[in-house]
Amino acid sequence: MGVYTWFPYQISDHCTEMNITLMDRWVISAQGNFAKNTDLFLRKISNRFNGCPMKALVFDGEWAFTTEYEILTYSNGTVLTYISGLEMELLKIVLQQMNMTFIHVAPEESFGAEENYLITSLYRKEVYIIFGGIGSYVSLNKLLSSTKSYYFLSLRWYVPCSIKNPRWSSIYRIFTAQLWLVLIISFVIVAISTALVGRYSCTSEWQGYKTLKSSFTHLWAVILGVSVSSMPRTPSLRPLFLSWVCFSLAFSTVFQAFLTTFLTDSGYKIPIRNMDELLA
């Protein structure tokens, strides 16, 4: 007694025929046994189809997620129909991996996507697969199988939440970079001016206002709200020193107010505003 099975698509010249192959032979004896003891559940359909054709009935889904028909006209008058779309690209990948040849079957305009026409085409083996925005009603037939529909009923865009600013960044976030630069330049200019005025004034001035180092120390103490050891005596230096005190008072008030606010709630970084920032 022989055990047979069939292997489709093994020979490219007979792609539509089934090759009946003897798998093993049963030996009739007391208990009975197989002569070769081979695997009875072999892989019948392999991943390589030797260039056999895949007849596909392709409808124009008029959508990039299904199929789109494009008419290409060349200078010599040749007109070609090019099929693009997600379904077509997926089929190309599958056929390339399985070594099959794509054969395009154009749908008949008089029937369109009529269910009887589609089922009849499959039964007669005029086509092996149908795609291009076809509805799932064909899957109701028990002898046919349909892939899951990927039509989007809704689309949601999820954007990551903004990241909270670290508390240590509150110090330099109070002012912009340009304003911090102006503050540093102003501090240096006033310190140099104070040292020059105190050194070359006609009247005697305290030694603490004649050197650049001591001038920096006195002006920095004013910014921090600390009393200086001695007030300037030169009439030309007093207006300059008073102007710096007023500037330091305004700066310190604004700085402390914003610093307290940022330490309480540091806030969030700038959220994503466009597609480029989202991809980045």
C-beta of residue 29 within 8 angstroms of C-beta of residue 22: no
Q: pTM of the predicted model, to two decimals?
A: 0.43
Residue 229 sits at the vertex; the CA angle it makes with 227 and 235, to the nearest 5 degrees, is 95
Stretch among 25-29, 41-45, 210-214, 267-271 having the lowest mean pLDDT: 41-45
Structure confidence at residue 150 (pLDDT) = 61
pLDDT digits (tens, 9 = 90+) for 151-210: 556 777 777 777 777 776 667 777 777 888 888 888 888 888 888 877 777 667 667 677
Structure confidence at residue 209 (pLDDT) = 75
Structure confidence at residue 77 (pLDDT) = 76
From 185, 188, 230, select the one nearest 209 (Cα to Cα). 230
Q: Any bridge partners for residue 72, and if so which?
A: 80
State the span(s) of the chain assigned CATH 1.10.287: 167-264
pLDDT digits (tens, 9 = 90+) for 106-124: 887 656 667 777 888 888 8
Instruction: Give the fold, CATH level 3, of 167-264.
Output: Helix Hairpins (1.10.287)
Burial of 235 (0-12, 13-18, 19+ CB in 10 A): exposed
